Amino acid sequence: MKNILIGLLAMILLPLFSFTQILDPVKWTFKVEQTNPGEATLLLIAKAGPGWHVYSQDVPQGGPNGAPIPTTFTFTKSLHYDLIGKVQEPKAIEENDPNFDMILKFFADKAVFKQKIKVLSQKNFTVKGVLNFMCCDDKQCLPPNDVEFVFSVKGNPGAVAPIAKSDTVTSTATVKDSLKIAASAKASADSTAKRIEQTKFGKTDADKAADQSLLWFFIISFLAGLFAIVTPCVFPMIPMTVTFFMHDTTSKRKARMEAIVYGLSIIIIYVVLGVVVAVTLGANFNNFISTHWIPNVFFFLIFMVFAASFLGMFEITLPSWIVNKADKQADKGGYGGAFFMAFTLVLVSFSCTGPIVGAILVKAAGGDILMPIIGMLGFSLAFALPFGLFAFFPSLLSGLPKSGGWLNSVKVVLGFLELALGLKFLSIADQTYHWHILDREVYLAFWIVIFFLMGMYLIGKLKFNHDSELPFISVPRIILAIVVFSFVVYMIPGMWGAPLKALSGYLPPATYQDFDINAIVKTEVNSVNAGGGVNQAPSALCEKPKYADFLKLPHGLEGYFDFKQALACAKQQNKPVFIDFTGHGCVNCREMEANVWSDPNVLKILRENYIVTALYVDDKTELPQQEWITSKYDNKVKKTIGKIFADLQIARFNVNSQPYYVLLDTSGNLLTAPRAYNLDIDAFAKFLNTGLDNFKKQH
């Protein structure tokens, strides 16, 4: 068991930096009013966010820019009720809509739609169906959305059983209504449909990414919880606490119930911590926590402090009065005592679990509100697992390895990992603000030395003053040492520009490397070709790119870092535009560049057929005042490169996750569905070719 769990050390290196947020400005709620047993009124209530509105059921067609989809309601046919008339709506606002340049009826803030029904059933029943609506603000429209609804209606004791009829699920909408909806959809197939398609594509990719992120984050957090069990602060407490619960031989059932409460209390404490982070920070904390220099430098320093503690420089402990107070409550026994004993474990284990829990919460704070809760649930489930297991099967305690020097070795190895992982935070701040104090080769040099020293420690050539004597090296330890030294050898060529694809998400990009032997060779070849006129490839650029002095494209690609400049060049050269919404701190962006963009076929398509454009959404470079913009999305002034292009991504595509790849024609219209993070090279090449084919068809 010990050897298996030690092997989980590598698991805490797995990344999770990409999270998704999608606009969802309209919320629907459903209520039933039933004062008369024979009749009920179904209320379908729409609440729109500030600036957003929902359209009426009565929408004219044939506007200059198309027309929106009207709000429609479809009820599942049933023997239990009949509809009375049509859905009634409140008085609508009727004025010019800038999205369609025509007079339209719509509802702002709140709208209550009402459908009366005749109750035909003596028993309680449900009314089911689906509504379809479209919402817009003053600058954009989201795609039509289906919302399913269910109403619980009380039966009518005086009702007469109806004559049997077909109970097939069909729409009660009349033929006239159906034709009206179809005509509305067809009339919106021009400019409105383009906007709908753009947002629909983005939402589909983003929803999939969000689901995968939550599941993956739970798995990573669970593995981190397993690793925390074998830390020196936690492992020795397993037999101590389980023995405490089993000491009452008169009532083993009660002891086991207390042990269950103990395990559940551990889970509750950590989940509450996740809820606090979610409520106090939430999704709006994303940009600050992931890119600003203050939190990143702070986390870097915290990791360095914990690393020094793990390596034996000093011991990190909470104030004794906090632990003693919780311990006194635990001594009272009972279920309350079990809870406080769990609380004591959390406090005592802080010096070992602190950096693991902190790393999970740091990653979670950059995502949506569920991330901290999911992370703490996964961690605490694994963390509480051995206590519940050994409480029910105390005989298994005899099979546990004894505490000793191996626990200290785990702590030292964790210290080396803390040193390596802490550099990632400093690197993000360094790239975002262009400090150039931790370029790629410097970063690699630190990692090579750190992991080399870890390997030396594992084979007993490096010792600390608190280490036990190592009379021999166990087989698992030598295997781990071989893995570490092999990792060091793998990293060494990166000092001269090797791509190191396996580490693409952790290292600064190759464009942040001063000495790249591949780039030097290419430069010399191009210089020779320029003089002799042989195989000299023409530049893909129309003019010098803005921000090219501190922003670079990977793999020697030429392109732009400004949307307007790229679009102007696309018109001049009659080429489609490839937009890469990316970020300095985006792990998945680096993985895509290293593993997908590097494919010769993909690289050839990008280089020869597209105006490549990288828009950094987290760059902190402040622009001159004349280049500032006022966002139509949140009405705030955007002053930096990153905020301007982040606003462009949200306002245009309703997505703010990276990487996000978009193909546009020379007028800025979408050529095909955008793509998010996906390491399928063939699918990415097909994506590029589809956009290229559609562009050619237009011309």
At residue 136's C-alpha, the angle toward residues 102 and 107, to 5°, is 80
pLDDT for position 167 = 39
% of the chain surpassing 70 pLDDT: 66
pLDDT for position 138 = 74
Is the pLDDT confidence value at 344 over 80? no
CA distances from 562 to 183, 391, 577, 583, 692 (A): 40, 62, 12, 14, 21
Q: What is the pLDDT of residues 259-297, one digit of tens each?
A: 777 778 878 887 777 667 655 654 445 455 556 778 778
Work out whether the CA dihedral 279, 282, 284, 288 comes out positive or negative.
positive
Is the pTM here over 0.85, yes or no?
no
Highest mean pLDDT among 532-546, 559-573, 641-655: 559-573
H or E element that contains 337: helix 334-348
Is the pLDDT confidence value at 658 over 90? no
Is the pLDDT confidence value at 684 over 90? yes
pLDDT for position 16 = 35
User: CA torsion, points 72, 73, 76, 82, in degrees to nearest 10?
Assistant: -130
Is the pLDDT confidence value at 594 over 70? yes
- pLDDT class of 62 with cuts at 50, 70, 90: low
Is the pLDDT confidence value at 419 over 80? yes
Class of domain 26-164: mainly beta
- pLDDT class of 560 with cuts at 50, 70, 90: very high
Q: Map tokens 């007993």 to a residue.
A: 460
pLDDT for position 208 = 52
DSSP conformation class of 401: P
Q: What is the pLDDT of residues 466-519, one digit of tens each?
A: 777 778 888 989 999 999 999 999 999 988 888 887 787 678 877 767 666 655
- Cβ partners under 8 Å of residue 638, min gap 6: 628, 629, 630, 631, 644, 647
pLDDT for position 188 = 39
* Residue 613 and residue 580 in contact, taking contact as beta carbons nearer than 8 Å: yes
pLDDT for position 634 = 72
Q: How many CB atoms lie within 10 A of CB 31?
A: 11
Q: Mean pLDDT across the chain, nearest whole number?
A: 75
Q: Between 3.50.50.60, 2.60.120.560, 3.90.740.10, 3.40.30.10, what CATH number should domain 538-698 receive?
A: 3.40.30.10
Q: What is the pLDDT of residues 155-201, one digit of tens each?
A: 988 776 554 443 333 333 333 443 343 344 333 334 344 444 444 44
pLDDT for position 359 = 63
- pLDDT class of 457 with cuts at 50, 70, 90: very high
Half-sphere exposure of 538 (CA within 13 A, CB side): 7
- Cβ partners under 8 Å of residue 531, min gap 6: none
